């Protein structure tokens, strides 16, 4: 069985890039190194010469290859992944094939599995191109995953605003028959058929019809999605040759869902505005421009993608001054062309899957996950999961486990674009339920501007009177011993961190993630006061999941407790072991010090020794040893000489540092010097999960932390208890 797969289609605009991305993502969750290869592409100009330098490429890059190379599971350069250009195929097909085979094997030697993406039908007729792709697949020994398009072919294949109609099940069967016959003629092995961009109302019928063509093949269908095929504002700007004169640059990546030609009077334009539309306004119709800007800002009208002022007219100074005063975030574009040429250019703009479009990226992966049985496909490829655990595998497991029992997470920082983008990804991938704190109108308006779909999220204001009253009563009750009155509590609970924590405390949410725009103290102080610690746990601490190239380790405490006592170190060790076990990491706990075993003495060593003994007494089932140095904990050869016979030394998975200074510096050193992915900090010891973000957190960091929080919430909550002291004294 092969570990390579060849993705090809019978025609252009079938959506091979979506399928290829899904394959790369699925493979990255099973193997360490995923390769990608484009046998024939625009941009290479080597005329089929066998010894042509791989670095000789034209300025135009292959956007499909760029999308796949942007995936974290692929670690190859662009030049390594391309075969020959179309000119080479025309000049000498046999020589070109030889070069393709040679360059493919160079990629295969560096990869555990390879996704090969066929050509794009931009150069020669479809039958000829499919035949050559089939020959390539046969010569590479790669089974074919055939993609057939669910839209009528045309100049754009219905990709973009100029959308064509859907094909029927019988139409799809006929397309499959022609393509499969061509593959068989060239002796290519058919693995499966995916009907992509299919009519959403006929998915089952299409699968049944296509299955008759290839009864032994895996057959599936992926529905058409308007956002995936929609061009971005930036693509529309390029299509019309326009210049952006105002607006937020971040909004240029928003998808354009329609076009409105505003050639009529203002009162007739307004009812025709639609969500995500680009509005074409003659440059001399100032009143229409102002009306459209006001409509976009109004909550009673749709959120627009952009305005294009066409015709080459200059905006009058007085009107321009008014627009400047409004300072709209909506992109305003100036184009020199007339009505017909501008409309034609916009309608021909193609929607492409791009690495810098988070919504398209998430949509493509979500469609793949919902409609393709990746497990069955991987089994047909004989791709078994590697014994090593890579960072991508760990992150994938987080999302899968969170999806398995969906929990409700509150995100207090609804005014941060990173949080909104992460929320869009979490909702698109079905990871959890979400509540976002903030003004609903402002949050949804900003999400619409960013091209995000947050319709599945609840937006709740921390000034909501009903919740404010309930939360204030509860907070005053909890903190009455500190002299907190109801009036004081009403002010406190409007703080987003306190409001979110109260939601978790009262069961309105299962967990909270914050800190992208707030300090750690601001994020977690309310949890010390309100949620408090697990029974038998005296402190709240933290761990980082350190994702190395082939395994995941747990480091604690690296973020919370500056100088723990022996008792607190024991708590940290037990909590860290429990966290490791919850995330399928077998806990073997190393209590770290500058001395190993009985080789050294001193207060710091004795503290770790005492903590180790406390862990053994409190959790006798736990594998723990210490004090030991890091090398003795991590390296078997060192362990054999320094701590022979230890059940932990040389194979530790949980590393407990003696103080915050050591832990924080060590995790950052490993992260930066060893290229490890640090996921965290993950708080532990609380009765309900609350987690803190770095203020420099990326969207992916927020997604991972939310998934972790959701998994923490899946455990059976402990019974209510009066906790003992937390960090900094009694809560």
Please give the full DSSP string across 18-85, using - where no structure is assigned: HHHHHHHHHHHTT-S-EEEEEEE-TTB--TT-TT--TT-B-S---HHHHHHHTSTTB---TGGGEEE-
Q: Inform me whether the pLDDT recorded for 12 exceeds 50.
A: yes
Residue 726, pLDDT score: 31
* pLDDT value for 44: 54
Digit-coded pLDDT (tens) for 50-61: 344 443 444 467
Arithmetic mean of pLDDT, 638-659 = 92
396 or 726, greater pLDDT: 396
| Average pLDDT rounded to a whole number, residues 424-433 | 91
- For position 566, what pLDDT does the model report? 93
Mean per-residue pLDDT, 310-333 = 87
Q: What is the mean pLDDT of residues 284-293?
A: 90
- Burial of 125: CB neighbours in 10 Å, binned 0-12, 13-18, 19+: exposed
Distances (CA, A) of 216 to 189, 206, 211, 613: 11, 16, 8, 61
Residue 614 has pLDDT above 90, yes or no: yes
Strands (E), 369-462: 408-411, 433-437, 458-460
Instruction: Name which of 24-33, 379-388, 559-568, 633-642 the model is least confident about.
Output: 379-388
Contact 338, 254 (CB under 8 A): no
- Phi then psi dihedrals of residue 41, to 5 deg: -150, 155
Tell me the pLDDT of the chain averaged across its residues.
85
533 strand-pairing partners: 686
**Ranges assigned E (strand) in 548-620:** 552-556, 588-592
What is the reported pLDDT for 162? 60
Q: Is 586 left (phi over 0), alpha (psi -120 to 50) or beta?
A: beta
Lowest-pLDDT choice from 309-313, 375-379, 461-465: 375-379
Asked whether the beta carbons of 725 and 731 are under 8 A apart, the reply is yes
For the segment 398-417, the average pLDDT, to the nearest whole number, is 91
The strand ranges marked E within 442-570 are 458-460, 511-514, 541-547, 552-556
Average pLDDT over residues 468-486: 91
What is the per-residue pLDDT for 463? 92
In this prediction, residue 46 has a pLDDT band, given cuts at 50, 70 and 90, of very low
pLDDT computed for residue 608 by the predictor: 93
42 vs 256: which has the higher pLDDT: 256
pLDDT over threshold 80, residue 399: yes
Express each pLDDT in 174-200 by its tens digit.
Answer: 999 999 998 888 888 899 999 999 999
Specify the pLDDT at position 383: 64
pLDDT at 454: 92
How far is CA 305 from its chain centroid?
Answer: 23
Q: Could you tell me if 688 and 504 are in contact, meaning their C-beta atoms sit under 8 angstroms apart?
A: yes
Q: Residue 357: is its pLDDT beyond 90?
A: no
- pLDDT number for residue 358: 77
Residue 32: band (very low, low, confident or very high) from pLDDT cuts 50, 70, 90: confident
Q: Taking residues 681-689, report their average pLDDT.
A: 90
Is the pLDDT at 278 greater than 50? The verdict is yes
**pLDDT-based confidence at 127, cuts 50/70/90?**
low
Lowest mean per-residue pLDDT among 16-25, 223-232, 283-292: 223-232
Q: Which long-range contacts does 722-727 make (Cβ < 8 Å, 24+ apart)?
A: 723/532, 723/533, 723/534, 723/535, 723/537, 723/687, 724/533, 724/538, 725/538, 725/539, 726/528, 726/532, 726/533, 726/538, 726/539, 726/540, 727/528, 727/539, 727/540, 727/560, 727/561
More confident residue, 125 or 307: 307
Alpha helices in 110-193 (DSSP H): 126-140, 169-185
pLDDT of 153: 62
pLDDT band for position 437 (50/70/90)? very high
Q: For residue range 649-664, list pLDDT tens digits in order.
A: 999 999 999 999 999 9
- pLDDT tier at 500, thresholds 50, 70, 90: very high
Residue 372 has pLDDT above 70, yes or no: yes
- What pLDDT, on the 0 to 100 scale, is given for residue 543? 93
Decide if pLDDT at 393 tops 90.
Answer: no
Q: Would the pLDDT of 431 be above 50?
A: yes
Residue pLDDT, tens place only, 137-170: 888 888 999 999 888 765 445 555 666 678 899 9
pLDDT grade, residue 490 (50/70/90)?
Answer: very high
* Residue that has been written with the tokens 């038998």 in this structure: 536
Flag the least confident range among 146-155, 262-271, 303-312, 510-519.
146-155
The pLDDT, as a whole number, for residue 575 is: 92
DSSP conformation letters of 291-337: HHHHHHHSTTSPPPSEEEEESSPPPPHHHHHHHHHH---S-EEE--S
Q: Is the pLDDT of residue 354 over 80?
A: no
What's the average model confidence in pLDDT over 209-220? 92
Cα-to-chain-centroid distance, residue 114: 22
- Of the listed ranges 259-263, 693-697, 719-723, the one predicted with least confidence: 719-723
Q: How far apart are CA 510 and CA 507, in angstroms?
A: 6
Does the structure show a pLDDT above 70 at 720? Answer: no
DSSP-derived secondary structure for 681-727: EEEESBSS-EEE--TT--HHHHHHHHHHHHHHHTSPPPPP-----BT
Lowest pLDDT segment from 4-18, 277-291, 412-426, 614-628: 4-18
pLDDT at 279 over 90: yes
Rg of the chain, C-alpha, whole Å: 29
DSSP 111: -
> With 90 as the cut, is the pLDDT of residue 280 above it?
yes
Task: Tell me the two tokens of residue 445.
Answer: 């308006």
510: left (phi over 0), alpha (psi -120 to 50) or beta: alpha
């Amino acid at each position: 069985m092969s570990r390579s797969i060849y993705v090809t289609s019978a025609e252009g605009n079938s959506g091979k890039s979506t399928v290829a991305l899904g394959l790369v993502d699925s493979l990255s969750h099973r193997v360490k190194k995923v390769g990608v290869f484009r046998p024939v592409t625009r941009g290479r100009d080597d005329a089929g010469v066998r010894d042509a330098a791989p670095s000789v490429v034209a300025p135009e890059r292959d956007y499909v290859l760029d999308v796949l190379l942007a995936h974290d599971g692929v670690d190859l350069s662009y030049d390594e992944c391309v075969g020959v250009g179309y000119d080479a195929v025309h000049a000498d097909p046999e020589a070109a094939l030889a070069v393709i085979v040679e360059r493919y094997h160079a990629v295969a030697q560096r990869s555990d599995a390879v996704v090969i993406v066929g050509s794009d039908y931009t150069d020669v007729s479809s039958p000829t191109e499919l035949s050559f792709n089939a020959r390539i697949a046969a010569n590479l020994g790669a089974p074919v995953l055939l993609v057939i398009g669910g839209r009528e072919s045309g100049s754009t294949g219905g990709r973009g605003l100029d959308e064509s109609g859907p094909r029927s099940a019988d139409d799809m069967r006929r397309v499959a028959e022609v393509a499969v016959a061509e593959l068989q003629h060239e002796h290519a092995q058919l693995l499966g058929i995916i009907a992509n961009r299919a009519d959403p109302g006929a998915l089952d019928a299409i699968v049944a019809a296509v299955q008759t063509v290839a009864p032994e093949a895996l057959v599936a269908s992926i529905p058409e999605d308007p956002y995936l095929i929609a061009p971005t504002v930036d693509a529309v700007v390029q299509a019309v040759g326009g210049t952006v004169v105002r607006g937020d640059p971040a909004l240029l990546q928003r998808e354009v869902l329609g076009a409105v030609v505003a050639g009529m009077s203002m009162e007739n334009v307004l009812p025709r505005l639609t969500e995500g539309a680009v509005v074409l306004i003659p440059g001399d119709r100032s009143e229409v421009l102002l009306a459209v800007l006001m409509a976009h800002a109004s909550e009673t009208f749709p959120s627009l993608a952009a305005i294009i002022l066409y015709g080459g007219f200059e905006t009058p100074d007085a009107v321009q001054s008014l627009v400047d005063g409004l300072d709209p975030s909506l992109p305003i574009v100036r184009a020199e062309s007339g009505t017909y040429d501008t409309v034609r250019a916009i309608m021909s703009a193609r929607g492409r899957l791009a690495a810098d479009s988070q919504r398209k990226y998430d949509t493509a992966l979500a469609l793949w996950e919902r409609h393709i049985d990746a497990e069955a496909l991987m089994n047909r490829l004989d791709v078994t999961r590697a014994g090593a655990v890579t960072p991508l595998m760990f992150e994938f497991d987080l999302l899968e486990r969170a999806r398995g029992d969906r929990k409700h997470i509150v995100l207090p920082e609804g005014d941060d674009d990173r949080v909104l983008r992460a929320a869009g990804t979490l909702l698109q991938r079905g990871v959890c339920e979400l509540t976002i704190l903030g003004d609903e109108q402002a949050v949804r308006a900003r999400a619409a501007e960013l091209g995000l779909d947050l319709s599945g999220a609840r937006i709740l204001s921390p000034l909501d009177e009903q919740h404010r009253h309930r939360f204030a009563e509860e907070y005053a009750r909890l903190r009455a011993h500190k002299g907190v009155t109801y009036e004081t509590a009403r002010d406190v609970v409007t703080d987003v961190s306190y409001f979110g924590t109260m939601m978790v405390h009262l069961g309105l949410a299962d967990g909270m993630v914050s800190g992208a725009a707030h300090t750690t103290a601001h994020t977690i102080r309310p949890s010390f006061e309100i949620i408090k610690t697990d029974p038998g746990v005296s402190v709240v601490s933290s761990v980082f999941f350190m994702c190395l190239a082939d395994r995941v380790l747990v480091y604690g405490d690296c973020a919370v407790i500056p100088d723990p006592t022996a008792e607190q170190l024991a708590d940290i060790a037990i909590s860290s072991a429990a966290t490791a076990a919850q995330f399928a990491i077998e806990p073997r706990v190393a209590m770290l010090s500058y001395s190993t075993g009985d080789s050294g003495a001193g207060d710091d060593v004795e503290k770790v020794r005492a903590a180790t003994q406390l862990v053994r007494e409190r959790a006798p089932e736990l594998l723990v040893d210490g004090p030991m140095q890091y090398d003795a904990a991590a390296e078997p050869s060192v362990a054999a000489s320094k701590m022979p016979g230890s059940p932990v030394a040389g194979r530790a998975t949980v590393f407990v540092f003696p103080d915050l200074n050591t832990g924080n510096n060590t995790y950052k050193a490993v992260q930066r010097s060893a290229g490890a992915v640090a996921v965290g900090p993950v708080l532990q010891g609380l009765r309900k999960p609350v987690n803190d973000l770095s203020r420099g957190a990326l969207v992916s960091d927020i997604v991972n932390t939310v998934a972790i929080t959701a998994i923490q919430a899946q455990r059976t909550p402990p019974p209510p208890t009066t906790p003992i002291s937390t960090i900094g004294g009694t809560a």
